Amino acid sequence: MILLIFTTGCKTRNTPKTPKKEVTMALNISGENNTGTAFISMDYYRLQLLNELENFQPVNFVLVENDENPEVTVNIRIDNFMLWPRDERMSRRRVSRNIQVGSDNNGKPVYQTVSAVVDIVQVQRRSNARFTGSISIKGVKPLKFQRTFNSNYNYVNTYIDNIQGDSRALDGSISMLRGMGIEPMENDFILLLSKQEMTRTLSYELRKYYDTGTKSRK
């Protein structure tokens, strides 16, 4: 009896997974009044959109052109995409702090005041756009879906650029600012705007459709 259970378990673990069905998709991007798209690689953006739409899907999407009779057509219209100029501001602050440097003959702590001058830099860049996303699926149960999304993304990073004096004067709140961080490139902003709501919603609608279709075929 024990041997039979062990053998059955081995067969279950070795059962190959059923490969996902491949579904052809045309992904079209258009738009007007987009002053910021001059810096954007639309080919890169299109591939990143596909990756976002494919997340957790029960099928694999294969990009094709419109004249290749795709099963799924996704249209993304971008209007009023604006990438504002980079704004960098610096302020100089003098900070002081009492730190313990030892003890006196009676065991009482001895403190010393240390100070430093720090340059605090704040980088900010705003972006906004309006997206209209639509899905059209040819199938036993055709699907038509469309929604408009208004998105805003504001990148803000504050860091210390220079320390003059005793670094021990910096308390925890200032020490946390010592990393400059990785600033988004122009290509990243439109994707960050898209991911706020649009790609999540479109991906959900696709997953809902193909989850239902997959279960009905089983």
pLDDT tens digit string along 73-113? Answer: 999 999 999 999 999 999 998 989 898 988 988 889 999 99
Residue 141, domain member (yes or no)? yes
What span, in angstroms and rounded, lies between the C-alpha atoms of 139 and 141? 5
State what percent of residues in the chain have pLDDT above 70: 83
Return the closest-CA partner of residue 58 out of 177, 218, 212, 193.
Answer: 212
What span, in angstroms and rounded, lies between the C-alpha atoms of 201 and 147? 9
What span, in angstroms and rounded, lies between the C-alpha atoms of 197 and 156? 20
Residue 13, domain member (yes or no)? no
The residue range of the domain holding 157 is 20-217
pLDDT for 162 equals 85
pLDDT for 16 equals 60
**Residues 6 or more apart whose Cβ sits within 8 Å of residue 119:** 90, 91, 92, 160, 161, 162
pTM: 0.76
Q: How many domains does the chain have?
A: 1
pLDDT for 175 equals 60
Residue 7, domain member (yes or no)? no
Return the closest-CA partner of residue 60 out of 89, 31, 24.
Answer: 24
Residue 3, domain member (yes or no)? no
